[in-house]
Structure 1
Amino acid sequence: MNRNISLITLNQFLTNTADSIFQIVLFWYVYHQTGSALSASLVTAISFTIQIFLSPLIGVLSDRYNPLTTMQVSFGILGLVGVIFAPVYFYLKSLIVIYIYFAVIIHTCCMMLEGSSKNRLIPLFVGEENVVKTNGYISSSGNLASLIGNSLGGGILAVISFAGVMLIHSGLYFLAAVILLFLIKVKSSQEKSEILVTELKAETKKSDVKLKKPKFFQEMLDGFKLLKSNRPLLKLVILSTVLNIAMLNASLLVVLVSDQYHGTSTIYGLFNMFGIISSIVIGLIIGKLTTKFKTPTLFAVGLAISGVATVLMGVTNIIAIGILLNMLVLASGAILRITFNSFMMICVEDKFRGRMMSLAIAISAIIVPAVSLLGGYLSDKFGVGIVYILSGSWIFIWTLFPLIDKDIREINLGIKQKRGEFAKSI
Structure 2
Amino acid sequence: MTTELQPTTNATNWKKAFATIFTGQIFSILTTAMVQFSIIWHLTETTESAVVLTIAGLIGFLPQALLGPFIGVLLDRWNRKLTMIIADSSIALFSLALGLYYYFGEPSLAFVYLILMVRSTASAFHAPAFQAAIPLIAPEDQLTRVAGWQQMIFSFSTVIGPALGIAVYSATSLGVVLLLDVAGALIANLMLLFVKFNQPKPEVKQQPHFFNELKLGWQTFIQVKPVVTITLAAAIFSVAFMPLAMLFPFMTLSHFERGGYSASLVEAVFSIGMMAGGLLLSVAASRWKDVTYIGFSLVAIGATCVASGLIGKDAFIAFVVLSFLMGATAPFFNGPYMAMIQRAYEPEMLGRVISIATSVMLLASPVGLLMAGPLVDKYGVQMWFFWSGIVVVLTGLFIFVQFKRLQLPETVTE
TM-score, normalising length: structure 2:
0.89
In 1, Cα distance between equivalents of 2:100 and 2:304: 45
Mapped to 2, the partners of 1:150 and 1:265 lie a distance apart of 10
2:284 to 276, 283, 289: 289
1:260 and 2:251 are equivalent in the alignment: no
Structure 2: gaps spanning 5 or more residues: 1-13
In structure 2, the CA distance between the partners of 1:22 and 1:90, relative to structure 1 (3 Å rule), is closer
Deviation at 1:250? Answer: 3.9
Instruction: Classify the secondary structure of the residue corresponding to 1:409.
Output: coil
Q: Which residue of 2 aligns with 1:127?
A: 139
Distance 1:120 1:399, change over 3 A: closer
CA deviation after TM superposition for structure 1 residue 104, in Å? 0.9
Q: Residues of 1 paired with 2:302 and 2:96: CA distance?
A: 41
Alignment of 1:302-313 (within 5 A): 302-313=297-308
- For residues 280-308 of structure 1, what are the alpha-carbon distances to aligned partners after superposition, in whole Å with 9 as ceiling and x for unaligned? 01111213323112322212211211111
Q: Please state whether the residue corresponding to 2:351 is helix, strand or coil.
A: helix
Equivalents in 2 of 1:153, 1:290: separation in Å?
Answer: 33
Counterpart residue type for residue 214 of structure 2: M
Instruction: Report the alpha carbon displacement of residue 84 of structure 1 after superposing the two structures with TM.
Output: 2.5
Within a 5 Å distance, the mapping from 1:6-405 to structure 2 comes to 6-89=19-102, 93=105, 96-183=108-195, 197=198, 200=200, 214-247=208-241, 248-317=243-312, 318-405=315-402
Confirm or deny: 8 A CA contact 2:63 2:120 kept in the other structure.
yes
One-letter amino acid of the structure 1 residue matched with residue 393 of structure 2: F
Distance 1:76 1:262 in 2: 38
In structure 2, distance between residues paired with 1:319 and 1:159? 25
Partner of 2:396: helix, strand, or coil? coil
Distance in 2, Cα, partners of 1:324 & 1:425: 45
Post-superposition CA distance 1:77-118 (Å, at most 9, x none)? 111112223443456x57543332221111111112111111
**Residue type at the aligned position of 1:132:** T
d(CA) in 2 for partners of 1:90, 1:399: 46
Q: How many residues matched?
A: 397
| Residue 132 of structure 1, CA deviation | 2.1
Q: Deviations over 1:6-45 (max 9, x none)?
A: 1232233122112212212221222222110111111111
Change in CA separation of 1:374 and 1:125 when aligned onto 2, cut-off 3 Å: same
Is the CA contact 1:25–1:162 (under 8 Å) kept in the aligned structure 2?
Answer: yes
Between stretches 339-348 and 4-13, larger displacement belongs to 4-13
CA distance in 2, matches of 1:402, 1:386: 25
State the distance in 1 between where 2:394 and 2:135 align.
34
Cα offsets for 1:213-255 (capped at 9, x unmatched): 5121221121111111111111111111122221353411112
CA contact (8 A) 1:49 1:369 kept: yes
Letter in 1 for 2:342: M
Look up the SS of the partner of 1:214 in the other structure. Answer: coil
Change (3 A) 1:395 1:90: closer
- Whether contact under 8 Å (2:309, 2:384) holds in the other structure is yes
The Cα shift of 1:153 comes to 1.6
> Matches of 1:403 and 1:293 in 2, distance apart?
13
1:300–1:162 distance in 2 versus 1, CA, 3 Å: closer
- Judged with a 3 Å threshold, the aligned counterparts in structure 2 of structure 1 residues 90 and 293 are, in CA distance, closer, same or farther, namely closer
Query: Match of 1:193?
Result: none
Aligned equivalents of 1:11, 1:119: Cα separation in 2: 16
Kindly report structure 1 stretches of 4+ aligned residues shifted beyond 4 Å: 93-96
Q: Secondary structure at the match of 2:208?
A: coil
TM-score (norm 1): 0.87
Larger displacement relative to structure 2 (170-179 or 31-40)? 31-40
Task: For residues 40-67 of structure 1, give each alpha carbon's deviation from its aligned partner in whole angstroms, at most 9, with x where no partner exists.
Answer: 1111111222222111111112111111
Paired amino acid for 1:353:
L
Q: Secondary structure at the match of 1:353?
A: helix
Contact 2:41 2:249 in 1 (8 A): no
Contact 1:235–1:407 (Cα < 8 Å) also in 2: no
CA distance in 2, matches of 1:17, 1:308: 29
Query: For the Cα contact (< 8 Å) 1:41–1:250, is it kept in 2?
Result: no
The aligned amino acid for 2:305 is T
Q: Is the 8 A contact 1:275 1:330 kept in 2?
A: yes
Confirm or deny: 8 A CA contact 1:60 1:355 kept in the other structure: yes
Q: Indicate conservation of the 8 Å contact 1:276/1:327, yes or no.
A: yes
Matches of 2:65 and 2:196, distance apart in 1: 34
Distance in 2, Cα, partners of 1:337 & 1:2: 21
Whether the aligned pair in 2 keeps the contact of 1:4 and 1:126 (CA below 8 Å) is no
